[in-house]
Structures are given as C-alpha cells and as structure tokens.
Amino acid sequence: MKKKDKMTPFIILMLIPGVGFIVFFIGSSIVITVLQSLGFFNMMGESSFTLDHWKSILSSREAMDSLLFSLKMGILSSVGTVLVAFPLALFFRKSGPAKGMLGSIIKVPLFIPALVAAFLILNLISYHGLINTTLMRLNIINEPLRMLNDSFGWGVISIQVWKNLPFVLLILMAAISSIRDDTIDAAKNLGAGYWSVLFRIYIPLAMPGILVAMILMFIRAFGDFPITSVAGPVYPSSVANRMQIMANLYQEWNQAAVLGVIIIITTFFVIWAYSRFAELVQGGA
C-alpha cells in the first residue's frame, strides 16, 4: 500500500470534527427550516403537512416586495463593491509610499460589527448629518438630501460597500497579483494602451476572482439584517427583516421558515448563475 493511501483514513479522521460540525448543524438547520415551511415543527399549533404557508407568502405583495428589495441590494452592493475595490487592487499591485497607510485605513471596517458600522455611516448620511451640513455650508445644496431610509436603498448600498470593501479587496488583490508582470510588459511592447491592458488582460484574467468576490458579497448583502434594519427604507423591508417581523411580531414561524427557504433557494440560484457566467467567460476567452 502506498504512503498516500495509508494517510487517507487519518486525513478523514482529522477532517471529521470540523466538517462534521458544519454538516450536522447547518444541514440539520436547513432540513428543519424546510420541514417547518411545510407545516411540521409548528410552534403555535398542530404539526401536519400543508402548503398553506407557501401560498400565503407567495400571494403576499409585501413578501415579494421584500424579496425584490433584497435582490436589488445584493446585486447592487456586490457590483458597487467590486467597482470600488478593483481600482484599489490595481493600485496595491505596485508598491508605493502611501500603500501601507491606505491599506490600514481600508482594513478598519473589518474590525467593526455591521450594526456599529451602520450607526457610524448613519451620522454621515442622515438628514442633518455631516455630508448634508457640509454641502449646505458650501452652498452646493439649499436643503438637506434624503440619503437615509430612502425608498431606493442608497444608504444601505453605501454602508454595504464601505463595510465589505476590505473583504472584497483581499480577494481581488489575490486575483490580480497572480497576473504575471511579463504578460503586461509584452502587451505594452506590442502597443497596448492602458485601457487595452485593463479590459483585455487585467479584467479577463482576474474574472474568476471577481466572480467569487461578487458571489460572496451578494450572499452577505442579500441576507443582511442589521444594516437594512438601521438604514433601510420603512417599506419595503428586506427578507431578513420580514422574517424577524413574521416570527417575533406575528408569531408566524412557519411563514418565516418559508422566507428562509426562499433565501436559501435564491442564493443557490445566484451562485449557479454566476458559475455558468464564469464558464461562458472562460470558454469565450
């Protein structure tokens, strides 16, 4: 027997505590949520199979508006964060005097909880916050702009971008640093300009990292609760906020489970769509 084959059982035993913990607790939670959405594990009445909870949620305009709002926040937050992080990743690819200080400043949101970050940004974008006060004193605007709890959700997007920028930046920096310098030098020697290098070399070669960053960012923003509860609009609320309302306020735990299953299904669908897009991009390249 080869040494590699002898090590396989040992490796499996080493992985069981960590992987087994994840599979058992996350898997059991998902199974219970699915069963609860179908009428089982009913906390307020008889437990029996029924699709009434699904019918109630799917026919509810409030629930569908919350789903669309969360989708919008997830997509726009992921795209916006990547658009901000990608130029910074290109900047950090080369060493410079301001690289260390700027990197330390950007990493600050990593150590701040999401709820605290929401309240910090709230002081900046509120109706009488720092931004509106500064713009009014400079006579740029005549009255404060409504950037907090706006119906579109710009306040939520801005907080999501600031909070998750270091996380996305780390992924993009790893993707861009893998691009060899001689590839860039060869393109420049052949007459490629800055924009040609950007759109024909940097972006295509870094596309796997970009897609991974967007997927992870979407998952974080789509199911977010603290940021949308502080800076989000009064209506519609996010899916996570509606789950909290259905479970704690109305005691409709089964309908809250339906919303949880919708979050899981939507997340898996978006991951599948991103994966298919990545395959198409790599196939086209």
Confidence of residue 273 (pLDDT cuts 50, 70, 90): confident
Residues 147 and 256 sit within 8 Å (Cβ to Cβ): no
Pairwise pLDDT comparison (254 vs 106), residue with the higher score: 254
Helix runs in 126-202, H state only: 130-137, 154-177, 181-189, 194-197
Domain that holds residue 174: 60-112+150-284
Residue 44 in any domain: the answer is no
Structure tokens of 148? 């907090």
Is residue 103 very low, low, confident or very high in pLDDT (cuts 50, 70, 90)? Answer: low
Q: Are 139 and 58 in contact (CB under 8 A)?
A: no
Rounded distance, CA 186 to CA 208, Å?
Answer: 22
What is the average per-residue pLDDT within 176-182?
Answer: 81
How far, in Å, are 28, 137, 150 from residue 32 at the CA level? 6, 56, 36
Q: What is the mean pLDDT of residues 250-262?
A: 87
Residues of 70-91 as b/e, b for ≥16 C-beta within 10 angstroms?
A: bbbbbbbbbebbbeebbebbee
- CATH number for 255: 1.10.3720.10
| Residue 7 pLDDT greater than 60, yes or no | no
Is 73 a member of any domain?
yes
Q: How confident is the model at residue 81 (pLDDT cuts 50, 70, 90)?
A: very high
How far apart, in whole angstroms, are the C-alpha atoms of residue 117 and residue 130?
16
- 181 domain-assigned: yes
What band does 60 get if pLDDT is binned at 50, 70 and 90? confident
pLDDT (0 to 100) of residue 76: 92
* CA 281 to centroid of chain Cα atoms: 22
**208: in domain:** yes
Q: Is residue 134 part of a domain?
A: no
Q: How sure is the predictor about 130, in pLDDT bands with cuts at 50, 70 and 90?
A: confident
Closest by CA position to 247, among listed 259, 265, 231, 236: 259
pLDDT band for position 1 (50/70/90)? very low
Amino acid at 33: T
Burial of 35 (0-12, 13-18, 19+ CB in 10 A): middle
* Burial environment of residue 214 by CB neighbours within 10 A (0 to 12, 13 to 18, 19 or more): buried
- Report whether 240 contacts 223 (CB < 8 A): yes
The total number of structural domains that make up the chain: 1
DSSP H or E run through 83: helix 61-93
At 119, is the pLDDT very low, low, confident or very high (cuts 50, 70, 90)?
confident
Summarize the confidence of residues 19-45 as an average pLDDT: 79
- Average pLDDT along the chain: 80
pLDDT at res. 34: 86
The answer as to whether 189 is a domain residue is: yes
Q: Output the pLDDT for position 82.
A: 92
**Domain assignment of residue 1, yes or no:** no
**Is 47 part of any domain?**
no
pLDDT of residue 190: 76
